[in-house]
Every structure is written in C-alpha cells, then in structure tokens.
Structure 1
Amino acid sequence: MKIENSLPCHQLPEVHPHNELQFTVATEEDFDDIMAISQDIYGGLDYLPSRFQAWLQETNRTVILARKQGKVIALESVCVIDDGETMLVEGLRVAPQERGKGVAGVLLRFCSQLVKAKHPEVKVSRLTRDDQLGAKDFQKYRLITKQGILLVRFCAEDLKLRIAELGLNMGSAGDGLHPSSTPVRLEPEEVIQIFLNNGVMQDILPNGTIVQDWQPFKPLSSNMAILLKKDIDWMVDDVSCPSVASLCTFPIRVPIGNDWYYLNIDMFGKDLTLALQQLVCHLRSHTDTLKGHVMCQVFLDPPLWRPMADFFKETLKVELVKEYTEQCVVESDVV
C-alpha cells in the first residue's frame, strides 16, 4: 500500500497489510471518478459535489483516495480543528462493489496515521453519525452529544405562499408563534462575541459543541474563523442574553434532480416558541427567491422534535421525508 502526491517520505505513516490498495491525495481531475462511486449516497442529498472544490483549497484538510488497480474505490476527508487537537473525519465514500470488505476501516486508519504524522498535536478523532449506535460502537467511541434530525421536503414557491399567509397572522391562536421577540441576524463580530462567551452559551450549546451541518466544533477562536468563512446565517432571539441560537446554510444544489436544493438549519436551545420563530425567519429568507424543490434538514434538541414536526405538517403543510433519526457526535483517541 502506498500514497502518492502527498507528504515527504519521512512523514508518511507505516504501510498497512492491505497490499492491493494505493492511496493518493485527491485532485480536481478525480471529481468524475469520485462522483461515480457516490451516486446513491444519502438518497440524493450528497453535499460533496458542491463542496469538493472548496475542500481541496482548505489548508487544514486532507482528502485521500483509495485505489485498486488504479481505479478510485473510496474517499475519506480529514480536517484538523479545535486548535489542532481534533481530527474531524467526514465524507466517507466507498464504491458499491467494495462495501463490506473492510476498505473503510483501512482507509480511516491510514488517514489517522497520516494526520498524526503531519499534526502530532492531534489527540482525538471526531465524527457525526445518523444511525443507531450499538454496543460495538461504544467500545470504539465516546458519545459527545445528540441532536434530533428532522428532514422535510417542499416546493419553494408553495412554502413561500404559506409563510406569507402565516406572517399576516403572527401570534394568532394555534400557529405556535407569538410576537414577543424578533429573531436577530448576527454580524460576524456579534457571532464571535456571543459564541465565545461560555457564560452565555453554556446552557444552549449541546455539551459545549457547535454542530454546523454535521461538523462539530468547540467554541474556540480558531474554529470561529473557519465557520465565519462559510455562507451561514447566524441568528439568536436576544443578543445580550440568548435562549435559542440557530445557524442556517445558504441553499445548495443537490443531485436528486433538476432544481433541487438542500438547506441545513442547526438549532440550539430548548424554547420551542423561539425556535419556531427562527425557523420561519430562516425559511422565509432562504426560499424567497428559489424556484424548485427543497430538502431541508433541521437539527434540534431531541424533545423539540415532535412539536417541530407537527408544526411543519400542520401549520406549514410540509411533508416529512422520514421518521425520527438522531445525529450523534462521537470521538475516539488518536494514538
């Protein structure tokens, strides 16, 4: 097993026993091959097509491909965060014909050793999962936090009309909202001031973690610099003493079909009314000019899942794609 187009030889990790595989650093020329092994990923919600080019430009990220007989069969991305102490693992792809053969485990071990060679200060590996964790998982990982996942789909034009109708009756009986507070969209300097204030955010962030579109970050200055480079709307109910905070991505195209978009909303806090107000503000802002269909994932405190789902179905007349699932942030030591 070998790696090409990467580190000097004295920085390479040890060779693994899976001799038929070769590892290379991903380049722009590999895009089509990577898409070919990713066609059925996440039911068409694959984010990689829209992010691959940006990933290659990130200096703290390494994207590794596994090849068999020269053909791309797997991909893994690792990103160093948390002041260099954490290796964030994401983007795993394995070609359908190679699944179940141990390729993912070998690739992950190689990436871990590679990152450790480049960044010896890395202590833990973190990743997010949306499947049920079993006994074997807890032998490998420590659970950091859980969030509920609410996945819905809708026609942007229909939702825009529905929200417009709702806006005319904010605070009416049965809509679940009241005009007691107006969500505040934050400027970058306000984001830093609020999210780096442990006293303000300790009761809001789940186990002190900012989970943004599947990526878990500790509230540190270096991580805020990473997050503020992204297209994100940051929102709170109150700048001086927030109870609910939310982060919403700008819509990206996904390969479900023509004119399909993906929207991600991460919500922190336990107040349902405030969460609903911010949800409506995000949806209004980011569907206003869209034409087509939207798959929207909302991540939230698990007890809010059912009332939020009811609000989507009964008030916004939006379809739930699947029943309740959980997003689990887990970590393991890097040795």
Structure 2
Amino acid sequence: MKIDTSLSMPQLPEALSHAGLQFTVATEEDFEDIMAMSQDIYGGLDYLPTRYTSWLQETNRIVILARKHGKVIGLESVCVIDEGETVLVEGLRVAPQERGKGVAGVLLRFCSELVKSRFPEVKVTRLTRDDQLGPKDYQKYRIITKQGILLVRFRAEELKQRLSELGVGEDLHYPMINSSQRAGPLRLDHPTIQRLFLGTDLMQPILPNATIIQDWQPFKLLSSNMAILLKKDIDWMVDDLSNPSVASLCTFPFSVPIGDNWYYLNIDMFGKDVGLVRQQFLGHLQRHTSSLKGHVMCQMFLEPQLWESMAHFCQHTLGVELVKEYREQCVVEADIV
C-alpha cells in the first residue's frame, strides 16, 4: 500500500488545538532537529537517527512532526501493514524541554485522527511497548503477545576472543552447546524464507500468535508484509528446514548517538528450545560482531521462560554484562472507532 503524503493534514478537533502545535510531514531537512531530540533517549541508544532516512523512503509510512513556534518538538510515525488493515504507531519522541507538558498526548491523538481520516480501510491500530501495562491499558488494548527482553553489553574485540575460545566458527555449527541432534543453525536466502514462512504452516506454531515481530514491529504472515521485511537488512535463521523448532531474525549492527564506536544489535528469537536458541544467538553474534571495534549493545527478544537461562549463559559462559533485569515487550492492539 502506497501512502499519499501530498494530502493535506486533517482538521484538528477543538480539544487538541489549545496546545498551539502545528503538524507537518517529516523531510530530510528535519534530520538535525530529530538528532537534537535523540541525544538522551534510551540513555543515548536511540535507533531513530539511523532509521530516519529509510523511514522517509518507505511507501507505507508517514512520519509526523509536531512544531511549536516553527521548531520541531515531537515526532510520531504511522505505518500501514497487514494488507491495509492495520496501522502500526511507533517512534514517539518529544524534545527534552517539552516533556511533561502533554505534547505526547496531543501528538498521539492527532495521529489517531490522521489514521481515521486518511486510512478509512484500517481496522486496528497496533503498537509495541516495553513498560508495565496498567489497568487502563488492559481496558483499552488487547494483548497480542509478550516476549522477554534480554539486554547485554560487551566490547566487540573481547567477545570475538571469547567466541574463539568456545570454538564458534564460521560454519555456524556448534555441537558443544546443541541440545538436539539437528545440524544448524541455517541462514536463509529470500526464496527459502518465502517458501518456509508463507508456503507452509511450519512456522505458525513457533511464532507468537502467528506473528513475526521484527525490531519491535509485528507482522502477520502475509505476502505484503513479507515484501516489507525482505527489503530490510536482516539475517534469518532456523534450526531445520523440514521441521523447525527455533527461528530468529537479526538486524545488522547500527550506530547510536551515545558516542563513537557504539553499536546496537537487535535479535528477535522464536521458539522454546534453549539449546537451539543459544546456537542461533551465537551464530548471529559471530557473524555481526567479528568485524566491529568498540562497544555493542545487544538486545534479544525471546520466550519469557527462557530469559533466566539465557541471562545466565550470557554472564557466565560468554562473560558479557547484563544491562537490565527482566523486562517485557508487549504487542497490543485496539479497534479503530
């Protein structure tokens, strides 16, 4: 679905106009203003500066800016997926000096009005959160799925040495930690991804609620969504092509604003076999950190019951630092009314 960004913005309801905000579609020229808002977001680990340009090029997405006296003070994005039935709301940012003043609420309500006026075929809105859901959230949203979030930090050079000591090689076969007799993990090319995820029912029991969650974005198993995913730089792995138990999607490392030679790596892991999860985790680490120099923050999303075991493995086998205790990634949705 291609979004027409040339259309005029919807009229804001009277209740929203009091904030004195103006709303525009983001452009390349706004990048420095976006950077200024991202310096302390997620402790300096904001992904948006790296993704901003590619977001503007996505034909199914609009990035909305909130301005006050002409200056950018907020950002939100709406992305139409699931063959036009779902709008994904993500990327909320508010400038430091404007936080706590209600800007986020006004921006979110504006985006809701935008969706209803411009995309009448959309039925539900989805978003992904990592904060604790409260009673009001449960009244407003349906929970699609939950994943545990495991966040670790290490120096790439030190991890490379540790992986070498463990015998992790480029063949991506690690019998020393494999809990099954299967060979793997196996990196997938695009035709195999299409066949395995769309041409069979093999992946549905592995994926939470038959949903591919990639870098905080939830996608139903549809051809239009697969076309979106295959345009991204992602490594796909499974443990077995004929009877898979574990699958994973890994971003390529991207830099973050905290400082020079700081990188982020996101791994979405699906499946309950902890040995196979470890195997694919090591495969992604070996492939994507071996040529890096500097600090790496690696965030893995996995079945909640595997979090403790994988945290222990990271600390005591890999010798990397656990940054945060258990958190959850919650995918929620609500009907558009």
Normalised by the size of structure 1, how large is the TM-score?
0.93
Q: For the residues of structure 2 that align with 1:30 and 1:24, how far apart are their CA atoms?
A: 11
Q: Paired residue for 2:234?
A: 232
Aligned residues with identical type, % of pairs: 70
Matches within 5 A, 1:260-299: 260-299=262-301
Q: Paired residue for 2:55?
A: 55
Q: For the residues of structure 2 that align with 1:186 and 1:136, how far apart are their CA atoms?
A: 42
Q: Which one of 302, 305, 310 corresponds to residue 303 of structure 1?
A: 305
Q: Which one of 208, 218, 221 corresponds to residue 220 of structure 2?
A: 218
Q: Paired residue for 2:191?
A: 189
Map Cα deviations across residues 214-252 of structure 1 (whole Å, 9 max, x no partner).
111111100000000000000000011110000011101
Q: Paired residue for 1:42?
A: 42
AA paired with 1:123?
K
Q: For the residues of structure 2 that align with 1:300 and 1:18, how far apart are their CA atoms?
A: 39
Query: Helix, strand or coil for the counterpart of 1:148?
Result: strand
Pair 233,178 (structure 1): closer, same or farther in 2 beyond 3 Å: same
Map Cα deviations across residues 85-141 of structure 1 (whole Å, 9 max, x no partner).
111011100122322232212211211222332221101111110011010111221
Contact 1:177–1:276 under 8 Å retained in 2: no
Q: For the residues of structure 2 that align with 1:211 and 1:52, how far apart are their CA atoms?
A: 20
Q: Paired residue for 1:12?
A: 10
Q: Report the alpha carbon displacement of residue 73 of structure 1 after superposing the two structures with TM.
A: 1.2
Matches within 5 A, 1:117-196: 117-167=117-167, 170-172=174-176, 180-196=182-198
Q: Paired residue for 2:90?
A: 90
Q: Report the alpha carbon displacement of residue 44 of structure 1 after superposing the two structures with TM.
A: 1.6
AA paired with 1:99?
R
Q: Paired residue for 1:329?
A: 331
Map Cα deviations across residues 240-285 of structure 1 (whole Å, 9 max, x no partner).
1110000011101111111011001000000001111111111000
Pair 245,8 (structure 1): closer, same or farther in 2 beyond 3 Å: closer
Q: For the residues of structure 2 that align with 1:171 and 1:184, how far apart are their CA atoms?
A: 14
AA paired with 1:185?
R
| CA-atom RMSD in angstroms | 1.8
Contact 1:6–1:24 under 8 Å retained in 2: no
Q: For the residues of structure 2 that align with 1:123 and 1:107, how far apart are their CA atoms?
A: 20
Query: Helix, strand or coil for the counterpart of 2:23?
Result: strand
Pair 138,305 (structure 1): closer, same or farther in 2 beyond 3 Å: same
Q: Paired residue for 1:320?
A: 322
Query: Helix, strand or coil for the counterpart of 2:72?
Result: strand
Q: How many residues align?
A: 328
AA paired with 2:54?
A
AA paired with 2:86?
T
Q: For the residues of structure 2 that align with 1:13 and 1:309, how far apart are their CA atoms?
A: 49
Q: For the residues of structure 1 that align with 2:236 and 2:5, how far apart are their CA atoms?
A: 36
Q: Report the alpha carbon displacement of residue 38 of structure 1 after superposing the two structures with TM.
A: 2.1
